[in-house]
Amino acid sequence: MARTDANPPLPSFPGDYVLTEVAPDDLSRSVKPKQFLHIDQSECIMCEGCVDICPWKCIHMLSTEAIADAVNTESPDRRDHHGQGGCRRPRGRHPPEGQRPRLRLRDALLMARRIGAGRGQLLQERLRRFQELPQRIQGSQVWTSIFRPGSIFRKGYTDSPRNRSYVIMNSVLYHLHPVKVKRHAVKVSYTLCLGGLSFFLFIILTVTGIFLMFFYRPTSAQAWNDIKTLQTSVTFGLLVRNMHRWAAHLMVLSVFLHMARVFYHGAYKPPREFNWVIGVILLTLTLLLSFTGYLLPWDQLALWAVTVGTNMMGYTPVFGQQVRFALLGGVEIGTETLLRWYVLHVLMLPFVIVIFMAIHFWRVRKDGGVSGPL
């Protein structure tokens, strides 16, 4: 044990002493457990664990009143220790019935708690636990993995210079570029640039998709004719459509390989477990983008592929038929289906995936950049 003011050196006392009970007046001047920082006074049940660390070997003689009276005590009263009129009885007088005083004190305390625990004390305990529930939630691994240190949802903000700096440090707009980059993060052989390649392919898909929207009408009577006209009559129309189609296939492949690389290097471990969940969501959104775009050409391949996919969704337990009806806009594939999947493909899913990509990039920066090698 360290030699500090709260833990003074062990006083000298004879080794052949016998510990016995002391008078009640002496209990209030015994050793105060509050001076030991690693003893939680509010949770003390007199388990005798403190006996082994007490430098005066008499901490077990405390009563509950003495503990409650010692809340603000910072130093022990040495008048009650050995060699200074302390708590030692004459040699040869042993406790009755062969039971040590600290055991009787512990048993009496536990029995008093069992007998005296009334309805009011039970309600107070439940109220205390309810009041501590927000702190327990904020201290859980799930909460701390989502909200990094300095977040207003971590412990709240008070007006101080440190918290003002936290506001700046948690802003993604102020940290688009890192101050320094780890050496392994710039090696192509380590990351294979799969994350950046996935984002680059998403940009290509956005640009080419906007170009295709100028020449496409999501109706069952005109969808296929517009695709045919795009390929034969629009300048660079076939090239742009093929760029869009191949970029979609490559994005699915690159996102999957990126997830495999992250898993292989163990980058899903704390503090990056929340960003791993975001990555799984991005992979799911990428697959949904690819699947919703599969119907838009409105050819035989697209019709039967979507028929198979929606029939599989219909076999989902509990809500499968409801999901299938919502996606088709009816009981079979028609104009309503094409319109719904077009809105999902060009509006809803891209909007959601942009939000999750921003969160993903921000958490990469906040979690210390690219994780190190194994």
pLDDT per residue as tens digits for the range 132-174 = 888 888 888 888 888 776 676 776 666 777 777 776 666 666 6
In a domain, 340, yes or no: yes
Which of 4-13, 40-49, 362-371 has the least mean pLDDT? Answer: 40-49
Are 257 and 321 contained in the same domain?
A: yes
Are 274 and 307 contained in the same domain?
A: yes
Q: Would the pLDDT of 117 be above 70?
A: no
Question: Given pLDDT bands bounded at 50, 70 and 90, which one contains residue 83?
Answer: very low
- How far CA 220 is from CA of 184, 300, 304, in Å, comes to 52, 12, 15
* Boundary-marking domain end, from 62, 96, 116: 116
In a domain, 9, yes or no: no
Question: Given pLDDT bands bounded at 50, 70 and 90, which one contains residue 75?
Answer: very low
Question: Given pLDDT bands bounded at 50, 70 and 90, which one contains residue 358?
Answer: very high
Kindly state the tokens that stand for 361: 């990039």
Are 135 and 62 contained in the same domain?
A: no
What pLDDT does 351 receive? Answer: 97
Are 195 and 337 contained in the same domain?
A: yes
Q: Which residues contact 290 (CB under 8 A, 6 or more apart)?
A: 248, 249, 251, 252
Are 222 and 282 contained in the same domain?
A: yes
Dihedral sign, Cα of residue 267, residue 269, residue 274, residue 278? positive
Are 100 and 137 contained in the same domain?
A: no
More confident residue, 184 or 167: 184
In a domain, 130, yes or no: yes
Which of 66-75, 237-246, 293-302, 313-322 has the least mean pLDDT? Answer: 66-75
Kindly state the tokens that stand for 238: 């076939």
Contact between residue 209 and residue 258 where contact means Cβ atoms under 8 Å apart: no
What pLDDT does 39 receive? Answer: 43
Are 196 and 327 contained in the same domain?
A: yes
Are 218 and 326 contained in the same domain?
A: yes
What pLDDT does 25 receive? Answer: 56
Q: Would the pLDDT of 347 be above 70?
A: yes
Residue with tokens 């104009």: 335
Q: Would the pLDDT of 5 be above 60?
A: no
Question: Given pLDDT bands bounded at 50, 70 and 90, which one contains residue 106?
Answer: low
> What is the mean predicted confidence (pLDDT) over 333-354?
95
Kindly state the tokens that stand for 211: 């170009």
In a domain, 103, yes or no: yes
In a domain, 8, yes or no: no
Residue with tokens 């093929």: 242
Cα distance between residue 197 and residue 261, in whole Å:
13
State how many domains the chain has: 3
CATH number for position 262: 1.20.810.10
Three-class SS state of 359 = helix
Please state whether 82 falls in left (phi above 0), alpha (psi between -120 and 50) or beta. beta
Are 208 and 266 contained in the same domain?
A: yes
In a domain, 193, yes or no: yes
What pLDDT does 134 receive? Answer: 84
Are 197 and 274 contained in the same domain?
A: yes
In a domain, 276, yes or no: yes
Give the residue numbers spanning the domain of 131: 119-157
In a domain, 227, yes or no: yes
Are 97 and 123 contained in the same domain?
A: no
Closest CA to 214 of 187, 188, 244, 185: 244
What pLDDT does 173 receive? Answer: 67
Are 210 and 337 contained in the same domain?
A: yes
Long-range contacts of 165-168 (CB under 8 A, 24+ apart): none
Residue 205 phi/psi, 5-degree rounding, is -60, -35
Residue 30 phi/psi, 5-degree rounding, is -80, -175
Q: Would the pLDDT of 265 be above 80?
A: yes
Does the reported pTM lie above 0.85? no
